[in-house]
Each structure stands twice: as C-alpha cells, then as structure tokens.
C-alpha cells in the first residue's frame, strides 16, 4: 500500500544538526513533489519545505530558511531533511507528505502523510 | 508570514451544519485556487478533506464541502456526526512559493 515512513528523530542540543529520512513505498516516488510539515507539541501544523519531483526546485518557510535543506534520492525512494543550527523552537513532530498530483505539476495539497518522527531540541 | 486565520473552536449538534472560516490575504487565499482542508484526530496524521478550494478526494464524504469568497475560504460540514469531532486546518499556496496553514479549529460535536 501507499506508505511514508519517517525516521531520524532524536533529542539534540541547540546548535547541533540532524538529518531526517522519509522512506516511500507503494507509489512512483519520482513523479511526485514532496513536503515536510511539522507540529510542535500542542500546536498547529506548520509547513517547512517542498521539493519538486526531480529535486530541481525547493522552497522553505522563513523560519527554517538557511538552516534546513530538503533533498531526495529517487533511486532510493527517499526524502530527506537536513537540519542545522537547531533551536528549541524547532522541537516538533516532523512529517513528510506527498503532493496530490504527479509531475511536473504541484497542487500544494498533501494526500499521503507519514506518522512523523519526533525532534526535541534541548540542552 | 503569519498563519491563516481560523476560529479556535466551533461546535454543533448532530445533524446540524457548521462552517469553519479561513481568512488570508490577496497574496494567498484570495489569489490562488490552491486552498486545502485537513482533518486531524489526536496523535494521528492529518487527512486531506478538500483540495483546490472545493474538490473532494476519493473516499471523503460528500457531507464535506469547500468554497471561497475573496480572501476567505470556508469548510462546511453538513449532517454533523460524532466522528467529525476533530481539529481542522486550512492551507494555501502563497505568492512567495510557500504553503501556509491556518492555526486550526477544534470542532466539538455536542
């Protein structure tokens, strides 16, 4: 079945780095734009980043621009989020999600979500 | 960029209809057709309920409908059921090539 499974979450100190992974299965990963979305404890959803189906385009929320990098390996059906210079306010559950339409288009809607991986930034 | 504005909570009785508003600006909700709505139960992944303002994905009940007027989008749930009690989030594409979510609305079925 169509599935996204995140991994890599951990407890890290402020200023450190972490890389999250999202393994996709059950669909043609290389034909979909992909997203990272986070949710801080007790808070709402916050969009983090998007990457095009081929990795040629990516965009970021202002809150993470310059610190986070979204990437993908279509040969491994895997999405990544490299997080540098982590701050306490980055503490959240990070989820990957799929766009609703296939390449080369975006619909900016997310129809398949993973269960998320928890990142805690604390000294 | 600030989040889209949603009411913190709404409530209704079984069988009634409720509407959740989502207010943005002319740079997001007001300009683009890319407005979506998500339903989220506690400790679970969000579920897409509406995309492109008013389209329902396959499998979503036709009790859920979406619309837009100016800078405000709306989600209407008719024939309210106990299982509809959840958090609801709107989102929109923006002129900055980003996506922005609303703050979320907690729906209580009385």
Average pLDDT over residues A100-122: 93
Whether residue B61 has a cis bond before it, omega within 30° of 0: no
The pLDDT tens digits for B34-90 are: 999 999 999 999 999 999 999 999 999 999 999 999 999 999 999 999 999 999 999
Whether B101 and A47 lie within 8 Å, measured CB to CB: yes
What's the confidence (pLDDT) of residue A56? 95
User: Which residues lie below 8 Å from residue A35, measured CB to CB, with a gap of 6+?
Assistant: A47, A48, A49, A50, A51, A96, A97, A98, A99, A110, B99
What residues of B are in contact with residue A61 (Cβ under 8 Å)? 98
In contact, A99 and A37? CB cutoff 8 Å: no
Summary mean pLDDT of chain A? 96
CB atoms within 10 A of CB B100: 22
A103: phi then psi, degrees, rounded to nearest 5: -55, 155
Q: Is the per-residue pLDDT at B101 higher than 80?
A: yes
Cα–chain-centroid distance for residue A77?
14
**pLDDT confidence of A103, banded at 50, 70, 90?**
confident
Q: Please tell me what DSSP assigns to residue B2.
A: P
What's the confidence (pLDDT) of residue A57? 94
- A vs B: CB pairs below 8 A: 66
What's the confidence (pLDDT) of residue A73? 98
To the nearest 10°, report the CA torsion of B12, B45, A52, B75. 0
Whether A111 and B52 lie within 8 Å, measured CB to CB: no
The pLDDT tens digits for A7-35 are: 999 999 999 999 999 999 999 999 999 99
Distance from CA of B101 to the nearest CA of A (A): 6
Q: Please tell me what DSSP assigns to residue A30.
A: G
In contact, B57 and B47? CB cutoff 8 Å: no
**pLDDT confidence of B106, banded at 50, 70, 90?**
very high
Q: Taking the CA atoms of A29, A34, A38 and A39 in sequence, report the sign of the dihedral they define.
A: negative
What residues of A are in contact with residue B44 (Cβ under 8 Å)? 115
Whether B101 and A111 lie within 8 Å, measured CB to CB: no
What's the confidence (pLDDT) of residue A12? 98
């Amino acid at each position: 079945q169509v599935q996204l499974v995140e991994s890599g979450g951990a407890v890290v100190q402020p200023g450190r780095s972490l890389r999250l992974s999202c393994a996709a299965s059950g669909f043609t990963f290389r034909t979909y734009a992909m997203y990272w979305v986070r949710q801080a404890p007790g808070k709402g959803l916050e969009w983090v980043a998007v990457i095009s189906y081929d990795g040629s385009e990516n965009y970021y929320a202002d809150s993470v621009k310059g610190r986070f990098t979204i990437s993908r390996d279509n040969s491994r059906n895997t999405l990544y989020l490299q997080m540098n210079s982590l701050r306490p306010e980055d503490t959240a559950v990070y989820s990957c999600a799929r766009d609703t339409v296939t390449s080369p288009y975006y619909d900016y809607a997310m129809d398949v979500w993973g269960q998320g991986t928890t990142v805690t930034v604390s000294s | 960029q600030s989040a889209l504005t949603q009411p913190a909570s709404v409530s209704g009785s079984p069988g009634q209809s409720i509407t959740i508003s989502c207010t943005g600006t002319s740079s997001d909700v007001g300009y683009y057709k890319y407005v979506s709505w998500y339903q989220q139960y506690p400790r679970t992944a969000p579920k897409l309920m509406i995309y492109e303002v008013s389209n329902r994905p396959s499998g979503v009940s036709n009790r859920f409908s979406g619309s837009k007027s100016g800078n405000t989008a709306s989600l209407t749930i008719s024939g309210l059921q106990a299982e509809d009690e959840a958090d609801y989030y709107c989102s929109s594409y923006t002129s900055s090539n980003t996506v922005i979510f609303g703050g979320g609305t907690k729906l209580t079925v009385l």
